[in-house]
């Protein structure tokens, strides 16, 4: 009998060596083996990427490795095909081109906002196979388990001659991607906006980077988190007042994450005015896991905010952030260091509250932003908007919520997960529905699960213009349902409420109307907003905030 | 918080009625044809569109620092402040009454994209009647002041009306031009003018540019009480010669010279440099007082 | 455009400023003109709205308003450009407060 063949234990390393040799044989080793001329990028990609590879194209809802994505899409499908893409966000047209042009056929991702409709079409035509739609943390986790990239195509602000990278304020996903790829025999290629003799700081050491290419234009960044205060409505001001008085103040929420909508922007802008008048400065909203929302500037300037850790940066905020290094995480060079993986972890385990908005909510409290004909995913929202059963440290807000949910002898606390919605959206579309569109979407896409953003059993409170429903205090599914109907306003499901039961819930403080909170809706005017225009935000920042042109009216 | 931000009442954000209430002496305003007595547009009703009780313009009499004033305010939120038949007739009627009763001034709070397209010819006729009435009012010795700082600016026919007034007071947020940015882009293409580049739109039509070019008498903070103070100060010093052919000729020459000097430029930045501004890029971020100081220091 | 007419029984209002106007006919907004009416226990409502097909919702929103506030003896005229029920309720409350001279 033959002895078993000795197993080769470094096949990944050897394979990596062969890829680098192919590149070198094409003269693509550069003077330091790292710098590649921009006009040879397709040669490089075709040399180091093999059919069937798992490829990570860096891009989130902010920073995008757009040049590398377009270059990959321009590679020959004869040379490169059957790629399995693992990436946070499918945002650029070129991301979808990879599938339409036959280079890639499988996708694991988290979010696909603008390309959601094209993606749905490709799925229905069976030209793309979706592995799974993840949250960011799940996807990052799987980079270190079973979805480790063979090749990572990333975006950096600058590289030096040795291949060290400076990521700038938009660090975002880069550390997670590079660490997984570089330490498991993968190849890391970075597009950079500039080459510098000396970097402001080293964010990624040259040892972890194989090639750098100077992109023809700076990588694209979307100003996704800028909300113009001019568009905040009186109804949003009213809901913000209710949230501050009925939730933030009652639970003493100090560590939190906000969604990106106008509802939560209104809360940010009421902190220096309404919340300050309630004497809440220093008692709420001191520590944040949040992108640098321009609407947070007045609260920071008013001394409400002690610390903000960011997933990424925001266009126009860099100078302001640098000048407020006590608040933001900044390097010795002065610029911010963001980090999506760490900030998501903070949002999941270190925050006492998540508050955000949704497009639809059903009578069990399940909510979704998925709409028919689009596959979008939810990015980080499900991580933020969930009660983590792995949490063990206590805080007053967490304990109070836990006792409301589980009784006075509770052995655990509870995260506050708040959904804040006006009962009708634009064009009189009701937010509260008997059945989420997500279920129809699941059927039409043949997915294993309906795309639910936040599960009903994770939701603790619902805030609408009609009132606050505290689901923690509900003691049966029937009570939960009536608590939700009881704040669903004049939507069909709201009008179908059991009026007696809703009044009973109100007597027990499970539903609270504005007047129960001592709030007169007629006092909810935009005059309460600390800033009513983008220009006001610039003034608050002392001229440090430089908003993008599209947000200006001067 | 910054106290000046807390107490500010933005002109840009205010409704027509709020602007009047904050501009005039408290309690002095009497509305002519108030909503309960007015008629909504019959043209909009025929097109199956809801009208506004006051047809988007508030007119009446009041006092500014105890001086008798006639005032008209367009509501920019109602169909972009556009001028329809009733809207126009209310404004013309007010101006005709001013010729008769000779108040200390007529204040036009302009916030309009021009003619209401739904009312086509009726709107166009209304605009020409307003133009004639403004000149007749001035000829009768009553100054007509245009106050511009609303979200719709003063465009189209109302841009012309503004220029026919005795003077224009404008905020940085205000805009003044004939064709609106979207119109120019639609007609001449995005290469000619990118209407989505808002900073460019303001560099070409905005209050600072108009003030630097000498089109507007005063640059005012975006604040209701600042407009009140500016209008009061302006009227206290007001003198104007009666309109004449000679004055028109002089204005025509100035405009021809302006076209020769700046006609080839594509951006306010280039014009400001030609005006002698040493650091044109800084202009959009200058506050009102700094910009006024900068203009006063420019070579004439 | 849709024209709707309703009337609701309601406790008499105490007019101080007749008529009262609230709101602007702008996108997602509405204007409300509140006049004294003839019958002291009736709130008579006339609506012109750009959004068709929401008669039931209007009836529910204004019915709830007339039940919760003293709105009898009034005629309410509304020009609407697609306001949500939240905005309608808020404007009704503001207009009534104005009509009653700022009484809370």
B252-257, Cβ contacts within 8 angstroms, sequence gap of 24 or more = none
Nearest to A374 by CA among A444, A455, A449: A444
Residue C80 lies inside a defined structural domain of this protein:
yes
For residue A363, what are the domain limits? Answer: 229-538
What the block records as the tokens of A474 is 């509900």
Residue B110 pLDDT > 70, yes or no? yes
Return the residue in C17, C20, C24, C99 with the most chain B beta carbons within 10 A, the one to mutate for interface testing: C24
CB B50 to CB C48 under 8 A?
yes
Residue C104 lies inside a defined structural domain of this protein:
no
Least reliable range by pLDDT among A5-14, B7-16, B177-186: B7-16
Give Cα separations from A468 to A23, A234, A381, A471 (angstroms): 61, 17, 21, 9
What the block records as the tokens of A450 is 């309906």
Nearest to A45 by CA among A219, A164, A210, A216: A210
Contacts of A164 (CB under 8 A, 6+ apart): A199, A202, A204, A205, A206, A209
pLDDT the model gives residue B241: 85
C-alpha A171/C-alpha A155 separation (Å) is 9
CB C97 to CB A422 under 8 A?
no
Q: What is the mean pLDDT of residues C15-26?
A: 90
Residue A15 lies inside a defined structural domain of this protein:
no
Instruction: Tell me if chain B has a CB within 8 Å of the CB of C48.
Output: yes
Of B36, B51, B75, Cβ closest to residue C24: B75
CB A235 to CB C51 under 8 A?
no
Residue B4 pLDDT > 70, yes or no? no
C-alpha A384/C-alpha A416 separation (Å) is 10
Of C19, C25, C33, Cβ closest to residue B50: C25
**Do A369 and A286 fall within a single domain?**
yes
Residue A33 lies inside a defined structural domain of this protein:
yes
| Count of residues in chain A | 554
Pairing type for strands A287-289 and A83-89 reads: unpaired
What the block records as the tokens of B37 is 């007595």
Residue B7 pLDDT > 70, yes or no? no
pLDDT the model gives residue A30: 58
Pairing type for strands A287-289 and A165-166 reads: unpaired
Q: Strand pairing partners for A132?
A: A108
CB A47 within 8 A of CB A22: yes
* Angle made by CA atoms B178, B184, B187, in degrees to the nearest 5: 125
Nearest to A78 by CA among A42, A39, A24, A130: A42
| Count of residues in chain C | 104
C-alpha B175/C-alpha A247 separation (Å) is 43
* Residue whose pair of structure tokens reads 């963001």 in the numeric block: A338
Residue C93 lies inside a defined structural domain of this protein:
yes
Contacts of B121 (CB under 8 A, 6+ apart): none
Nearest to A485 by CA among C82, C65, A504: A504
φ and ψ of A226, to 5 deg: -95, 115
Q: What is the mean pLDDT of residues B39-48?
A: 91
CB B211 within 8 A of CB B268: no
C-alpha A86/C-alpha A149 separation (Å) is 7
Residue B3 pLDDT > 50, yes or no? no
**Sorting pLDDT into bands at 50, 70 and 90, what band is B200?**
very high
Closest-CA residue in chain A for B286? A543
C-alpha B125/C-alpha B217 separation (Å) is 28
pLDDT in tens, C22-46: 999 999 999 999 999 999 999 999 9
pTM of model > 0.90: yes
CB C79 to CB B35 under 8 A?
no
Chain A positions in Cβ-Cβ contact with residue C28 (cut-off 8 Å)? 233, 426
3-class SS of residue B259: helix
Instruction: Tell me if chain B has a CB within 8 Å of the CB of A15.
Output: no
**Sorting pLDDT into bands at 50, 70 and 90, what band is C65?**
very high
Q: What is the mean pLDDT of residues B162-190?
A: 94
Is 3.90.600.10 the CATH classification of the domain at B9-176+216-243? no
From the CA of C36, how many Å to the nearest CA of chain B? 11
C-alpha A292/C-alpha A428 separation (Å) is 32
What the block records as the tokens of C42 is 């009736």
Q: Is the dihedral of CA B7, B12, B13, B15 positive or negative?
A: positive
Residue C14 lies inside a defined structural domain of this protein:
yes
pLDDT the model gives residue B1: 43
Give Cα separations from B26 to A478, B30, B87 (angstroms): 55, 11, 25
For helices A477-485 and A499-507, angle between their N-to-C axes, nearest 10 degrees: 100
pLDDT the model gives residue C101: 83
For residue C21, what are the domain limits? Answer: 2-99
* Residue whose pair of structure tokens reads 């204040």 in the numeric block: B107
pLDDT the model gives residue A491: 96
pLDDT the model gives residue A371: 79
**Do A201 and A254 fall within a single domain?**
no
Domain count, chain A: 2
CATH number reported for the structural domain that contains residue A57 in this entry: 3.40.1080.10
Residue A492 lies inside a defined structural domain of this protein:
yes
CB A285 within 8 A of CB B10: no
Mean pLDDT of chain C: 92
Burial of residue A224 (number of CB atoms within 10 Å: 0-12, 13-18, 19+): middle
Q: ipTM greater than 0.90, yes or no? A: yes
Please give the residue that has the higher pLDDT: either C101 or B76. Answer: B76
Closest-CA residue in chain B for C18? B36
What the block records as the tokens of A274 is 């309404």
Of B1, B151, B202, Cβ closest to residue A530: B1
* Residue whose pair of structure tokens reads 């003063």 in the numeric block: B154
Q: Which residues of chain A have pLDDT under 50?
A: none
- Residue ranges per domain, chain B? 9-176+216-243
Nearest to A381 by CA among A415, A344, A421, A350: A344
Contacts of B147 (CB under 8 A, 6+ apart): B23, B107, B108, B109, B110, B168, B169, B170, B227, B231
Pairing type for strands A287-289 and A307-309 reads: parallel
Of A532, A540, A543, Cβ closest to residue B10: A532
Alpha helices by DSSP H, chain C: 55-68, 85-99
Pairing type for strands B105-110 and B67-74 reads: parallel
Q: What is the mean pLDDT of residues C40-55?
A: 95
Residue B2 pLDDT > 60, yes or no? no
Of A238, A427, A495, Cβ closest to residue C60: A495
3-class SS of residue A471: helix
CB A465 to CB C60 under 8 A?
no
Residue C57 pLDDT > 60, yes or no? yes
Radius of gyration of chain C (CA): 12
C-alpha A486/C-alpha A506 separation (Å) is 9
C-alpha B182/C-alpha B200 separation (Å) is 13
| H or E element at residue B156 | helix B156-164
pLDDT the model gives residue A123: 87
Q: Is A192 left (phi over 0), alpha (psi -120 to 50) or beta?
A: beta
CB B48 to CB C1 under 8 A?
yes
Of B13, B172, B197, Cβ closest to residue A532: B13
Residue C103 pLDDT > 50, yes or no? no
Residue B73 pLDDT > 70, yes or no? yes
CB A404 within 8 A of CB A414: yes
pLDDT in tens, B208-238: 999 999 999 999 999 999 999 999 999 998 9
* Residue whose pair of structure tokens reads 């609106």 in the numeric block: B180
Domain boundary among A161, A179, A214: A214
**Do A198 and A290 fall within a single domain?**
no
CB A485 within 8 A of CB A494: yes
pLDDT the model gives residue C104: 40
Q: Is A446 left (phi over 0), alpha (psi -120 to 50) or beta?
A: left
Q: Is A365 left (phi over 0), alpha (psi -120 to 50) or beta?
A: left
Residue C30 lies inside a defined structural domain of this protein:
yes
From the CA of C99, how many Å to the nearest CA of chain B? 13
Residue C69 lies inside a defined structural domain of this protein:
yes
pLDDT the model gives residue A31: 57
**Do A234 and A209 fall within a single domain?**
no
Return the residue in B4, B5, B210 with the most chain A beta carbons within 10 A, the one to mutate for interface testing: B5
pLDDT the model gives residue A522: 85
Residue A123 lies inside a defined structural domain of this protein:
yes
Nearest to C96 by CA among C22, C39, C38: C22
CB A175 within 8 A of CB A80: no
Domain count, chain C: 1
Residue A203 lies inside a defined structural domain of this protein:
yes
Residue A432 lies inside a defined structural domain of this protein:
yes
3-class SS of residue C7: strand
CB A115 within 8 A of CB A73: no
**Do A267 and A335 fall within a single domain?**
yes
Q: What is the mean pLDDT of residues B70-87?
A: 97
Q: Strand pairing partners for B171?
A: B220
Mean pLDDT of chain B: 93
C-alpha A543/C-alpha A72 separation (Å) is 41
Nearest to B158 by CA among B168, B194, A411: B168
**Do A283 and A136 fall within a single domain?**
no
Burial of residue B119 (number of CB atoms within 10 Å: 0-12, 13-18, 19+): buried
Q: Dump strand ranges (E) for A339-433.
A: 353-356, 360-361, 367-368, 416-420
From the CA of C6, how many Å to the nearest CA of chain A? 17
C-alpha B49/C-alpha B2 separation (Å) is 43
φ and ψ of A88, to 5 deg: -60, -50
**Do A192 and A234 fall within a single domain?**
no
Q: Which residues of B86-113 are buried (b: 16+ CB within 10 A; e: fewer)?
A: bbbbbbbbbbebbbeeebbbbbbbbbbb
Instruction: Tell me if chain B has a CB within 8 Å of the CB of C98.
Output: no
């Amino acid at each position: 009998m033959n002895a078993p063949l000795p197993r080769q234990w470094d096949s990944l390393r050897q394979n990596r060596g062969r890829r680098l040799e192919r590149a070198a044989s094409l003269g693509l080793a550069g003077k330091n083996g790292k710098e590649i001329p921009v006009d040879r990028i397709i040669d490089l990609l075709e040399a180091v990427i093999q059919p069937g590879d798992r490829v990570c194209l860096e891009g989130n809802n902010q920073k995008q490795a757009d040049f590398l994505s377009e270059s990959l899409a321009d590679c020959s499908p004869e040379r490169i095909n059957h790629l399995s893409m693992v990436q946070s966000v499918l945002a650029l047209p070129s991301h979808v081109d990879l599938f339409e042009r036959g280079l890639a056929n499988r996708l694991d991702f988290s979010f696909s906002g603008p390309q959601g409709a094209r993606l749905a079409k490709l799925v229905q035509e069976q030209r793309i196979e979706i592995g799974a739609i993840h949250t960011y943390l799940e996807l990052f986790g799987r980079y270190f388990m079973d979805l480790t990239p063979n090749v990572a195509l990333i975006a950096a602000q600058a590289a030096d001659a040795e291949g060290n990278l400076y990521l700038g304020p938009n660090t975002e996903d880069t550390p997670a991607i590079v660490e997984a790829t570089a330490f498991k025999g993968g190849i890391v290629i970075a597009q950079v906006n500039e080459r510098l003799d000396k970097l402001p700081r080293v964010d990624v050491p040259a040892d972890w980077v194989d090639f750098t290419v100077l992109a023809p234009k700076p990588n694209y960044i979307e100003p996704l988190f800028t909300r113009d205060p001019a568009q905040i409505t009186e109804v949003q001001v009213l809901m913000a007042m209710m949230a501050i008085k009925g939730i933030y103040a009652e639970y003493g929420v100090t560590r939190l994450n906000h969604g990106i909508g106008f509802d939560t922007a209104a809360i940010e802008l009421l902190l220096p005015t309404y919340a300050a008048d309630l004497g809440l400065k220093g008692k709420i909203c001191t520590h944040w896991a949040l992108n640098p929302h321009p609407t947070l500037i007045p609260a920071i300037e008013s001394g409400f905010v002690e610390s903000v850790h960011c997933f990424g940066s925001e266009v126009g905020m860099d100078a302001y952030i640098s000048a407020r290094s006590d608040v933001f995480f900044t390097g010795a060079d002065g610029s911010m260091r963001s980090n999506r993986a760490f900030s998501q972890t903070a949002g999941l385990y270190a925050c006492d509250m998540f508050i955000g908005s949704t497009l639809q909510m059903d009578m069990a409290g399940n909510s979704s932003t998925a709409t028919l004909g689009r596959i979008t995913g939810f990015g980080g929202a499900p991580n933020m908007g969930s009660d983590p059963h792995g949490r063990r440290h206590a805080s007053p807000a967490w304990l109070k919520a836990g006792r409301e949910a589980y009784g006075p002898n509770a052995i655990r606390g509870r995260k506050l997960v708040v959904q804040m919605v006006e009962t009708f959206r634009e064009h009189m579309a009701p937010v509260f529905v008997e059945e989420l569109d997500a279920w129809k979407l699941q059927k039409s896409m043949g997915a294993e699960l309906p795309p639910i953003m936040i599960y009903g059993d994770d939701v603790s409170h619902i805030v609408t213009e009609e009132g606050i429903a505290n689901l923690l205090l509900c003691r049966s599914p029937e009570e939960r349902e009536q608590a939700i109907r009881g704040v669903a306003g004049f939507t069909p499901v709201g009008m179908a409420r059991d009026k007696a039961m809703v009044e009973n819930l109100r007597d027990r403080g499970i539903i609270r109307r504005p007047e129960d909170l001592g709030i007169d809706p007629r006092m909810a005017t935009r005059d309460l907003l600390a800033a009513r225009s983008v220009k006001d935000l610039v003034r608050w920042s002392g001229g440090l905030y430089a908003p993008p042109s599209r947000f200006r009216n001067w | 918080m910054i106290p000046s931000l807390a107490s500010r009442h933005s002109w840009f954000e205010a409704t027509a009625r709020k602007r009047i209430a904050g501009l005039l002496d408290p309690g002095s305003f009497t509305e002519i044809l108030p909503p309960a007595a007015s008629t909504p547009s019959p043209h909009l009703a025929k097109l199956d569109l809801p009208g506004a009780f006051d047809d988007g313009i508030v007119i009446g009499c009041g006092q500014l620092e105890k001086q008798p004033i006639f005032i008209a305010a367009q509501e920019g939120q109602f169909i972009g402040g556009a001028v329809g038949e009733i809207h126009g007739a209310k404004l013309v009627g007010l101006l005709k009454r001013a010729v008769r009763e000779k108040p200390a001034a007529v204040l036009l709070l302009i916030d309009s994209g021009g003619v209401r397209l739904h009312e086509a010819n009726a709107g166009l006729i209304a605009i020409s009647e307003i133009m004639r009435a403004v000149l007749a009012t001035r000829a009768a010795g009553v100054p007509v002041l245009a106050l511009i700082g609303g979200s719709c600016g003063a465009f189209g026919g109302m841009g012309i009306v503004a220029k026919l007034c005795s003077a224009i007071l404008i905020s940085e947020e205000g805009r003044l031009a004939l064709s609106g940015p979207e119109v120019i882009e639609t007609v001449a293409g995005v290469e000619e003018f990118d209407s989505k580049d808002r900073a460019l739109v303001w560099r070409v039509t905005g209050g600072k540019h108009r003030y630097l070019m000498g089109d507007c008498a005063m640059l005012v903070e975006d604040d209701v009480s600042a407009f009140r103070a500016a209008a009061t100060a302006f009227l206290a010093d007001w003198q104007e010669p009666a309109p004449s052919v000679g004055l028109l000729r002089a204005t025509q020459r100035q405009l021809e010279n302006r076209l020769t000097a700046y006609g080839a430029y594509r951006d306010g930045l280039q014009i400001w440099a030609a005006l002698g501004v040493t650091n044109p890029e800084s202009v959009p971020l200058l506050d009102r007082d700094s910009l006024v100081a900068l203009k006063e220091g420019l070579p004439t | 455009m849709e024209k709707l007419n309703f009337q609701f029984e309601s406790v008499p209002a105490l007019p101080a400023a007749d008529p009262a106007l609230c709101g602007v006919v702008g996108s997602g907004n509405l204007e409300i003109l509140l006049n004294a009416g003839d019958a002291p226990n009736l709130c008579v409502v006339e609506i012109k709205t750009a959004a068709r097909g929401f008669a039931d919702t209007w009836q529910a929103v204004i019915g709830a308003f007339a039940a919760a506030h003293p709105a009898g003896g009034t005629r309410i005229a509304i020009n609407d450009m697609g306001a949500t029920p939240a905005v309608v309720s808020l404007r009704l409350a503001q207009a009534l407060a104005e009509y009653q001279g700022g009484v809370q």
